[in-house]
Amino acid sequence: MNRIASLGTPVVLFGAAMLFAMPAVAQLRETSVGGQGALATDDAVPGLTIVDVEAALAAIEADGAIPDAEKDQLRPRYEQAIEALRKADGFASQTAVYRDSLQTASAAAAGLREAIGELPSAEDAAQVRAASDSEELQEDIESRRAALDGLNAELLSASNELARARGRPAEISVRLPEAQRQLSDINRQLASPEVAVDVDSPGRVAERTRLEAIRSSLLSELEMLSQEQASQGVRENLLLAKQELQRRQIENDTAALNVLRGLLDRRLRIAAKIRTASLG
């Protein structure tokens, strides 16, 4: 039997598609990332997809003409390709978030600071009306305390996020050249005759698929790092505005809660004295 026929039509078509996809995937553009040259994909460049690779792997698994030993050699390459493409999708999603922040973060921070300016002072916030019924007052206090706990948790989360964001430039300065070196190495491997596209060689098709997927992941990561650096300032500014608003809200809510707690304590002491006096 012809060797290629044993692999089944889906895998043959997948291997042939690699021939046409390669030039498009190889289209790279130079972009500046923190003053360093980085490789990134053009937005419209097509490439491998998880669906394609999963279909090719499924065809191999279902083909009874392929020995199990050979499947065991091919399977890890396709699985690594799928994992790399999942990472690429994750990087692409995060890239979209960073791009969006470039467009929206400054206005959002300005809106938060406007809201801060409209907040009452802590002294004014302490002028809170209390329920005349002590049980209702107790319920109000518990509700306010729970809301205050939530604000404190949000502030802690924002503080941790800001700390992570401020640590990212140093991490990127390490990861960026590393990713660029990895990409150069992958490109050299893809240019090697040992992995030249050959649909008659299932091993070569699998290896090229793995390498192309890793390259896609690296290109997607480099683009993400570029957008992360570009949006660093506006994202930090937004986080600072969030922190400032949360601190002011906590300050005001704490002032009001302290007043209500003090009032409830006085009511309870008076009620206790009345009970004691009635018993005497």
State yes or no: pLDDT of 94 exceeds 60: yes
Q: What is the per-residue burial (b if ≥16 Cβ within 10 Å, else e) of 36-49?
A: eebbbbeeebebbe
pLDDT tens digits, residue range 74-85?
999 999 999 999
Neighbours of 245 (CB within 10 A): 21
Q: What is the pLDDT, as a whole number, of residue 199?
A: 64
In which band, very low, low, confident or very high, does the pLDDT at 252 lie, cut at 50, 70 and 90?
very high
Q: How many CB atoms lie within 10 A of CB 148?
A: 16
- What are 254-274's pLDDT values in tens digits? 999 999 999 999 988 888 888
Q: How much is the mean pLDDT over the chain?
A: 85
How many angstroms separate the CA atoms of 28 and 196, rounded? 20
If one compares 136 and 197, the residue with the highest pLDDT of the two is 136
> Phi-psi region for residue 28, left (φ > 0), alpha (ψ -120 to 50) or beta?
beta
* Residue 97 pLDDT level (bands cut at 50, 70, 90): very high
Total-model pTM:
0.75
Q: What pLDDT score does 14 carry?
A: 53
